[in-house]
């Protein structure tokens, strides 16, 4: 039986018009192709945005798949009570198509039980064999 939180269980029901990463693009032209495995993220920032969208949509498989094997947890569950509402990219260092490492500083906003909160993080990314992976958070 498919996991009801898995966006691949019912793709039509889980495809928002506007991309959750707030790029201003349609989901089908932004994070959608990355989530579907059609194309890899070309930069660390794009991977960060697609991972945020995966949190919004509950796509645990994508989150694990884009986590570097050296730091990937054995298991990972999302908190069903969190509703992610906004992503602000504050700083990007390196992480371009020809770099091997990158840094993305961001703040992700959410609501839980009617209470607003935010998560601020400086994420490190690494590129292996032309594919970007989330490595860990600095600090």
Residue 130's H or E segment, with its range, is none
Number of domains composing the chain: 1
Range of the domain at 68: 12-137
Pair 89, 48: CB distance under 8 Å: yes
| pLDDT number for residue 6 | 44
Q: pLDDT digit string (tens) for 52-80?
A: 999 999 999 999 999 999 999 988 999 99
| pLDDT number for residue 14 | 52
pLDDT exceeds 90 at position 8? no
Q: What is the CATH number of the domain that holds 104?
A: 3.10.450.50
pLDDT exceeds 60 at position 129? yes
Q: Give the distance between the most distant pair of CA atoms in the chain.
A: 43
Residue 98 lies in a domain: yes
Residue 2 lies in a domain: no
Q: pLDDT digit string (tens) for 97-115?
A: 999 999 999 999 999 999 9
Residue 93 lies in a domain: yes
């Amino acid at each position: 039986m498919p996991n009801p939180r898995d966006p691949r269980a019912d793709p039509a029901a889980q495809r928002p018009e506007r991309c959750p990463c707030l790029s201003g693009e349609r989901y089908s032209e932004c994070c959608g192709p990355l989530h579907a495995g059609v194309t890899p993220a070309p930069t660390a920032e794009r991977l960060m945005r697609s991972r945020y969208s995966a949190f919004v949509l509950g796509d645990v498989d994508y989150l694990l798949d884009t986590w570097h094997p050296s730091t990937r947890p054995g298991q990972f569950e999302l908190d069903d009570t969190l509703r992610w509402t906004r992503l602000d990219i504050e700083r990007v260092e390196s992480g371009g198509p020809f770099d091997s490492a990158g840094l993305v500083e961001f703040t992700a906003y959410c609501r839980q039980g009617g209470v607003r909160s935010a998560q601020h993080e400086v994420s490190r990314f690494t590129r292996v064999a032309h594919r970007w992976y989330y490595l860990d958070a600095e600090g």
